Amino acid sequence: MIDVLIYGIGGKMGANVLSALKDADGIRAVCGVDKFSPDTVKVPVYESAQNAHEHVDVLIDFSRPDALEDILAFAQKSGCALVLATTGYSAAQQEKIVAMSTKVPVFQASNFSLGVNLLIDLAKRAANVLGLAYDVEIVEAHHNMKVDAPSGTAVTIAKEVAAQYEGGKKFVYGRHEDNKRREVQEMGIHSIRGGTIVGKHDVMFIGKDEVITISHEAQSRMIFAVGAVRAAKYVAGKPAGKYDMSMMLSE
């Protein structure tokens, strides 16, 4: 049995992960970390991971970047694997994550949806086929409570697609600052925030007289929770190192 600590268990994603774990075989939630504990949570909840005394094989994190220090300290102490689903980390924080991956297995992804990762693969193929004759623009939309913009998923898509072009691409976030024509090497990334949109990503390849759009829309947060649980089962017992969705899906 794989024992899991859910970091951010009191939030919406925490509730979804808890539900996904109940439906999965060979894995269970043993405790969680959050500032509050809903009545529906039937496992111990602590304000800090340092207070947890249960045996933990994997920590699944759906919280905020400012929780990283507590998470890394717990991984250092317990030796548990990490599944990091939080986005918006700074460059310095990302360096700490990479450093921790030399000590414990760290599975990190900006999006745990199978569909989004298929979108990335299709977009990379499209970039290779269409080349510079088509301009690339990425539009992402999320709920009005999301803090980081652009989304971590949009940044991942942009980096993966840009890598298909010789010399890469220059990322342009919106077009309100410069009044000039679009340059060939640019890739536009645009963010929309409003209402309760779970997550929508469009990759547009815009050529002469036609537009090809590869699109994914999440209709429930549960798809991310199920993906994170799958990642937890995959990374549990793995040697120290950095793991991601492409590695898991290829196996």
Residue 237: pLDDT over 90: yes
213 and 146 together in one domain: yes
Q: Rounded mean pLDDT of 122-149?
A: 96
Co-location of 33 and 83 in the same domain? yes
Same domain, 160 and 182: yes
Q: How far apart are CA 234 and CA 41, in angstroms?
A: 25
Residues 90 and 161 both lie in one domain:
no
Of the CA atoms within 13 Å of residue 56, those in its CB half-sphere come to 31
CATH number at residue 142: 3.30.360.10
Total domains in the fold of the chain: 2
**What is the pLDDT confidence band of residue 37, given thresholds at 50, 70 and 90?**
confident
Task: Please tell me whether residues 240 and 150 are part of one structural domain.
Answer: no
pLDDT exceeds cutoff 80 at 27: yes
From the CA atom positions of the chain, what is the Rg in Å?
19
End-to-end CA distance of the chain: 21
pLDDT per position as a tens digit, 198-228: 999 999 999 999 999 999 999 998 999 999 9
| Domain extent for 120 | 114-218
Contact yes or no for 239/104 (Cβ under 8 A): no
Residues 208 and 161 occupy one common structural domain: yes
Model pTM? 0.80
CB 107 within 8 A of CB 230: no
Q: How confident is the model at residue 249 (pLDDT cuts 50, 70, 90)?
A: confident
Q: Which residue has the higher pLDDT, 80 or 247?
A: 80
Average pLDDT over residues 37-56: 91
pLDDT at 178 over 80: no
Active-site residues, by number, are 142, 146
Average pLDDT over residues 65-81: 97
pLDDT at 40 over 90: no
Do residue 45 and residue 82 come from a single domain? yes
Domain CATH code at residue 79: 3.40.50.720
SS3 87: coil
Domain shared by 213 and 122, yes or no: yes
